[in-house]
Structure 1
């Protein structure tokens, strides 16, 4: 029988840290594999000469956010792969979830309005993912709960 495959999207936010914790435990309980995905997007910025920010700065920032969450969650383990992929978070995660049994994301990332229950990324994934989606939120007490 093929291993249960979980994809988890992380962006360095507290909610994505809770999603990573949940996904690690679920993969452990099911004896499955875990794919940790961090998406990054190069902003369309620049001056009149067309010079923009260094792309490596954005890539490294995403990698640093992912590494910090993995370290806080206990680091690398068997059956876990971690990737930093350029592109919009929604499209990167939809592509990654194509062969997954479950997609796990935090309810709120870094952007937008903190008071909303779902962010734009988690809402779009819930509507368009090719597999079940679990949205993990961080409640006021700092402990994650699933929605």
Structure 2
């Protein structure tokens, strides 16, 4: 990164509360670093075997549209001034899409679903893959857990 380039944060958003927290964190960090945020939402058209999954919509545009709506909702919810936030909806497996996006990032931010107890120490499959294979540093935003009194 040169002095003329802004610090670029890529954040994966899937519509979950955890991914929205990741977006909020990324936007706040970008403001502090005078950087930019690029939101990536991945979607997949499920493989369908004839005779199975008859209730699934087979139109790929349905899945792309749903992903776009999830991303639009997340972008409307984030309120950080003076931050350039762009979005992109990409077809593919979420981990592969985020790994590709990490080539152009200074930092990749993802949310992780927490399960509490011992399993809460573990990362989800997507965050685990990007932590181990991204082309830039990765920050995993875990859910807040209330303290037990």
TM-score range, shorter chain: 0.7 to 0.9
Match 2:142 to one of 119, 122, 137:
137
In the alignment, does 2:116 pair up with 1:93? Answer: no
Q: SS state of the match for residue 37, structure 1?
A: strand
- Shift in Å at residue 103 of structure 1? 0.2
Q: Determine the structure 1 residue equivalent to 2:67.
A: 62
Aligned alpha-carbon RMSD (Å): 2.1
In the alignment, does 2:111 pair up with 1:106? Answer: yes
Q: Determine the structure 2 residue equivalent to 1:44.
A: 47
Is the Cα contact below 8 Å between 2:44 and 2:91 reproduced in 1? yes
- Shift in Å at residue 76 of structure 1? 9.4
Q: Determine the structure 1 residue equivalent to 2:84.
A: 79
Distance in 2, Cα, partners of 1:18 & 1:86: 23
Q: Can you give the 5+ residue segments of structure 1 that lack an aligned partner in the other structure?
A: 142-147
Q: Can you give the 5+ residue segments of structure 2 that lack an aligned partner in the other structure?
A: none
Count, aligned residues: 135
TM-score under structure 2 normalisation?
0.82
Q: Determine the structure 2 residue equivalent to 1:14.
A: 17
Is the Cα contact below 8 Å between 1:9 and 1:16 reproduced in 2? yes
Is the Cα contact below 8 Å between 2:28 and 2:80 reproduced in 1? no
Pick the structure with greater CA Rg. 2
Q: SS state of the match for residue 9, structure 2?
A: strand
Pair 25,76 (structure 1): closer, same or farther in 2 beyond 3 Å: closer
TM-score under structure 1 normalisation?
0.83
